[in-house]
Amino acid sequence: MSDLITFTHQIAMSLHRVGLAGAAVDRGTYAALSKQWTQEAAMLHDKLMKQALKAGMTQFSATMDEHAREMIYDRLKYPVLVKTRKDNLPAIDKPTLKRLLKEHGDSPFINDFIAFNAVDKLLSTWIGKADRKKNARKSVGELIEPIPGRKDLGLLHCWVIPLKARTGRRASGGVEEDDPEGRNMQNWHPKARKMIVSRWKKGKVAVADFSKLEMVIMGWRAKDEKLLDYFLNGKGYIGIAKEFWGQDVEDGSSLYKATKIIVLGLNYNMKAWKLANDLWYRNDFKFSEDWDEHVKRTVQERKRYLRMFPGLARYIRERIYEVEDTQKVVSPSGRVRHLPHHGRDSEGFWHVENAAVNQPIQSCASDITGSAIVDYEEALLKEHKLSYADWHLALLEKPWDLPCSPVFNEVHDELDADMHPSTGKRDLEIMRDCMENVRSFRRLVPDWDIKLKMDIQTVPTWGDAK
């Protein structure tokens, strides 16, 4: 246990220094995106208002949910398919609106409303000024700090909070002590990523992403050599799709997307009805045009998939037995998630089951990426003959002028680094080695005997990575 505690503290401190390093923001790109999104939002709002007035509404604002509900359900007469949990009102979230369009006919208003919500979220998150209500968060733009002598760049700190999510994953969105003024830097929109560049004029941004990390962990943890081989050495989803469907499947096709839904869902014990619903509504994939027959076939195909990977089926059963017996589940590194319940037949036990299957894998993935950050920082400082005190002081005093390449963000299974023009080539070699071997994690979990694979891209902006 003491080794796990030490490892946890190491991750926390390395993540703290990731936050201190910050990401460089190109102010020109930021200004261009601000102008573009402001114009798009104004244009779409104008179109929506004209359509609402034409339909007989006397006033309309696209940012007021009650106005949108009146237009969609009272004026356009769309049926209510889903209601909100909190207030029991007709839902106007994107999945529900997409379903309305698919099942009950197209609507220019709904299409424009979906587009407006997307650009309005970009504006409010990255550009707009937050209202000053209690605990209101600042926009990303308001968090950008000046860099001395650089009018072209600003610095944005990406604070990642260790052990925040119940699954064992990390989350971002706050500064120290989880200050609500922080913003989530782990789920940046691809358009917004374009504003992140190197702090050095000849530097590059490195995007290093573990390849199918959760799938590899699941194959290893479940002792299912076939599943592990597909994602570590084989063709992954493409290979599974060919075996499952008995035909070649193209990347990006409807059948490929359906395969991903099946694999990702069933690896975490998704039940048949939820899987049928996701296939039908998320991917427009149907085993039959009749819903009941579609569900029946989904039950059969779910069983067939689990027969393909007996180790996976066994792992799922073992986790359910574990949580039923002990009311907790334990990750490979020894992290415990308590899952109290009132027995297998109690209400909501399905959620306990899924959490028990999910947590050991998610937590393990978090430990592996944490190990990569800790190991990279240790090897980087050794390479450049820096002490932790020297490095920490440099990050505090002049993060825009560092002696080597810092990690500035962690996005689930991806590490993002700002590559120094002089040391970047060697620093990238160090990063690859640390991500492949995750030595700190291996010391904690000696059974881990896998050399991981990853994809590393060096690009002018964070948004250029594919």
All structural domains of the chain with their residue ranges: 28-141, 144-211+366-464
For the structural domain made of 144-211+366-464, what CATH number should be given? 3.30.70.370
Task: With a cut of 50, list the residues of the chain below it in pLDDT.
Answer: 132, 176-178, 180
| Confidence at residue 429, expressed as pLDDT on a 0 to 100 scale | 98
Q: How many CB atoms lie within 10 A of CB 216?
A: 25
How far is 466 from 452, CA to CA, in rounded Å? Answer: 20
| Confidence at residue 180, expressed as pLDDT on a 0 to 100 scale | 45
Which tokens sit at 363?
A: 């937590």
Rounding to the nearest 10 degrees, give the CA dihedral for residues 330, 335, 338, 343: -10
Q: How many CA atoms lie within 13 A of 226 on its CB side?
A: 12
Backbone phi, psi, residue 415, to 5°:
-105, 135
How far is 340 from 92, CA to CA, in rounded Å? Answer: 34
As beta bridge partners, residue 147 has 150
Note the pTM of the prediction, 2 decimals. Answer: 0.90
How far is 23 from 155, CA to CA, in rounded Å? Answer: 6
| Confidence at residue 85, expressed as pLDDT on a 0 to 100 scale | 85
- 459: helix, coil or strand? strand
Rounded (5°) CA angle 148-150-154 = 85
- 171: helix, coil or strand? strand
Q: What is the DSSP letter of 461?
A: B
Using alpha carbons, select from 152, 196, 234, 274 the residue that is nearest to residue 462.
196
Q: How many CB atoms lie within 10 A of CB 381?
A: 16
pLDDT tens readout for residues 195-244: 999 999 999 999 999 999 999 999 999 999 999 999 999 899 999 999 99
As beta bridge partners, residue 457 has 207
Q: Are the beta carbons of 384 and 423 closer than 8 angstroms? A: yes
| Confidence at residue 177, expressed as pLDDT on a 0 to 100 scale | 42
Q: Alpha carbon 158 to chain centroid distance?
A: 15
Fold exhibited by the domain 28-141: Taq DNA Polymerase; Chain T, domain 4 (1.20.1060)
Rounded (5°) CA angle 241-244-246 = 90
Which tokens sit at 395?
A: 């990050």
What residue type is 305 in one-letter code? Y
Q: How many CB atoms lie within 10 A of CB 314?
A: 14
| Confidence at residue 1, expressed as pLDDT on a 0 to 100 scale | 64
| Confidence at residue 133, expressed as pLDDT on a 0 to 100 scale | 54
Q: Are the beta carbons of 362 and 168 closer than 8 angstroms? A: yes
Contacts of 74 (CB under 8 A, 6+ apart): none
Backbone phi, psi, residue 23, to 5°:
-115, 140
Q: What is the largest CA-CA distance in the chain?
A: 72
Which tokens sit at 431?
A: 């990063």
| Confidence at residue 71, expressed as pLDDT on a 0 to 100 scale | 97
| Confidence at residue 7, expressed as pLDDT on a 0 to 100 scale | 97
Name the burial class of residue 176, with classes exposed (0-12), middle (13-18) and buried (19+) by CB atoms within 10 angstroms of its CB: exposed
How far is 464 from 466, CA to CA, in rounded Å? Answer: 6
Q: Rounded to 5, what percent of the chain is helix, strand, coil?
A: 55, 10, 35
